[in-house]
């Protein structure tokens, strides 16, 4: 799913470029220091702006830095590199022209609706004689009249978000920032709230002049935004800016609307799961290169393989997201994990089972474990750990050593998340075991079945069984050694001369 990088426009290279800019960032990068002292880069040289009288949306997969960009432009975070401007003036502190509607409702549970809104006004230093009037107007604006004395616990999710919107609008912001504001409400409520926000913004005689929206919902951004900034991840970077010229009010079911949705689908999937095979690397005698491990549980990866198998081995990635009711970015993450394991291929917008994927879904549980292990040993990180352990099969490696390997090979990844994924995948394939108490990685032990004496007072042939049928202390088998979770049953038969396992 390739994106022609020649089509990616220069920032501001659209019809809005001549309009007055309210806020602008230039060549912004952001790094956060990890507990081990290493730097994690979450944004890389991002430049964009928001004009007066427009709605701009930041769209991209989870982890691409959308919320971080929002906080930088609000002055809550100072960028590691680059510049932020508000009305063409450098911004080095809180942006007083901005107000934020958060993803979580972020209400004080001990305060009423009115008190939650008044608190925001008091913190901004509004005169006491204006606070009540502004709060009441904001409550009327979002349709909460009559609920002034209600506590958050008595409100539905949609009404709680209306309180958040009223609180943000009460301070008369020039730009309204919205960080995935409708992700915690049902679809019908979200649709209603979107329309109300656009109606409030459309009143040209008052603020907010502009809206900056963070979203992972493609139809949502097509409905709301005039310009859509598509971001990629690891680290966050600009992929493309798409101008949306659909007339308002917009109809979710119109052909033009659906074409715009499809265009954004193609851009995102083309960037996140490209068609082109990786360029063959030159032979190397050094350690295997490490691939980034998508943060996906094995059970979820297996689930999507089963889903595809039930649909003749292929399905459109967007239909998968719709039918499974999963956020599109989460579906992409699982698809990328399955592709990394060579269980699926992704031509265009399709997700298709590979021969290995077909072999996996048809296999027994034990065979699946073995196939999973085979695929893991094709990946660089698992190869490196296996090479270290194979030199001393009874040895145990410190988790810290594996984490350092991740940091060295994948400096832009969250090493803790990658290590967790490594452990989950290794356990599922019974490739390595991990003891969380000692924080050691090692080869899992094979489970050893110990024979039991025959019951009902029958002798084992050596005269050692008591008359009541219970085994004597001398013949009681010792409890087996602890084994790692997920260790398969043994493959070896009992030794000659031992009694058979129960049920034999």
Q: Are the CB atoms for 402 and 419 separated by under 8 Å?
A: yes
**H, E, C per residue of 327-341:** CHHHHHHHHHHHHHC
Give the pLDDT score at 388.
87
> From CA 476, how far away is CA 494, in angstroms rounded?
17
pLDDT of 338 reads 93
What stretches of 363-439 show up as alpha helix (H) in DSSP? 365-376, 380-390, 399-409, 415-428
The predicted structure's pLDDT at residue 221: 93
Please write down the HEC assignment for all residues of 42-98.
Answer: EEEEEEEEEECCCEEEEECCCCCCHHHHHHHHCCCCCCCEEEEEECCEECCCCCCCE
The pLDDT of residue 466 is: 47
pLDDT of the residue at 20:
74
Q: What pLDDT score does 38 carry?
A: 72
Q: Please give the pLDDT value at position 410.
A: 80
**Strand residue runs (E) in 88-136:** 89-90, 98-101
DSSP 17: T
Distance CA 392, CA 394 (A): 6
How far apart are the C-alpha atoms of 320 and 328, rounded to whole Å? 9
Q: Is the pTM of this model over 0.85?
A: no
Q: Which residue numbers in the chain have pLDDT < 70?
A: 1-19, 35-36, 271-288, 446-504
Site of tokens 């609920």: 147
Cβ contacts of residue 330 below 8 Å, gap of 6+? Answer: 62
CA–chain centroid gap for 165, Å, is: 25
* Residue 396: closest CA among 440, 431, 447, 351: 440
Residue tagged 């699946």 (tokens): 368
Strand-pair category, 227-232 with 55-59? parallel
Q: How far apart are CA 401 and CA 50, in angstroms?
A: 45
- Can you read off the two tokens belonging to residue 37? 């002292």
CA distance 346 to 354: 10
């Amino acid at each position: 799913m390739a994106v022609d990088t020649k089509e990616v426009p220069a920032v501001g290279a659209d019809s809005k470029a001549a309009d007055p800019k309210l806020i602008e960032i230039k060549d912004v990068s952001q790094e956060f220091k990890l507990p081990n002292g290493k730097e994690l880069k979450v944004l890389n040289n991002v430049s964009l702006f928001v004009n007066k009288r427009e709605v701009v949306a930041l769209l991209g997969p989870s982890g691409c830095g959308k919320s971080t960009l929002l906080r930088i432009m609000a002055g809550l975070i100072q960028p590691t590199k680059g510049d932020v401007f508000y009305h063409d003036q450098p911004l080095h502190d809180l942006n007083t022209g901005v107000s934020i509607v958060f993803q979580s409702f972020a209400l004080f549970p001990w305060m009423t609706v009115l008190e939650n809104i008044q608190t925001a006004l008091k913190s901004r230093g509004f005169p006491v004689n204006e606070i009540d009037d502004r709060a009441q107007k904001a409550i009327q604006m979002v349709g909460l009249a009559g609920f002034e004395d209600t506590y958050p616990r008595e409100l539905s999710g949609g009404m709680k978000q209306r309180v958040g919107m009223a609180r943000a609008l009460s301070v008369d912001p020039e730009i309204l920032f919205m960080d995935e504001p409708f992700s915690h409400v049902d679809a019908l409520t979200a649709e209603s709230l979107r329309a109300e926000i656009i109606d409030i913004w459309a009143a040209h005689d008052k603020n907010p002049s502009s809206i900056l929206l963070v979203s992972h919902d493609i139809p949502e951004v097509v409905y709301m935004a005039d310009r859509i900034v598509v971001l990629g991840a690891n680290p966050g970077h600009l992929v493309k800016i798409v101008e949306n010229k659909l007339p308002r009010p917009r109809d979710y079911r119109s052909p033009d609307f659906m074409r715009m949705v499809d265009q954004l689908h193609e851009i995102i999937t083309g960037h996140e799961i490209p068609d082109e095979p990786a360029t063959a690397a030159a032979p190397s005698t050094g350690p295997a290169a490490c691939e980034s491990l998508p943060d996906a549980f094995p059970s979820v990866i297996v689930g999507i393989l089963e889903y595809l198998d039930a649909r003749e081995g292929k399905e459109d990635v967007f239909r998968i997201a719709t039918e499974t009711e999963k956020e599109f970015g989460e579906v992409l993450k699982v698809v990328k994990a399955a592709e990394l394991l060579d269980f699926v291929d992704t031509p265009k917008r399709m997700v298709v089972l590979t021969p290995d994927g077909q072999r996996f879904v048809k296999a027994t549980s034990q065979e699946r474990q073995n196939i999973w292990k085979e695929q893991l040993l094709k990946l660089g990180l698992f190869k490196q750990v296996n090479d270290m352990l194979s030199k001393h099969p009874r040895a145990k490696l410190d988790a810290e050593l594996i984490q350092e390997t991740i940091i060295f090979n994948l400096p832009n990844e969250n090493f803790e998340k990658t290590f967790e994924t490594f452990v989950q995948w290794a356990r599922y394939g019974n490739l390595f075991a991990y003891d969380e108490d000692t924080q050691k990685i090692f080869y899992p032990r094979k489970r050893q079945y110990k024979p039991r004496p025959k019951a009902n007072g029958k002798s084992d042939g050596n005269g050692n069984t008591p008359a009541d049928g219970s085994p004597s202390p001398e013949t009681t088998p010792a409890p087996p050694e602890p084994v790692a979770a997920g260790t398969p049953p043994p493959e070896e038969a009992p030794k000659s001369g031992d009694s058979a396992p129960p049920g034999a």
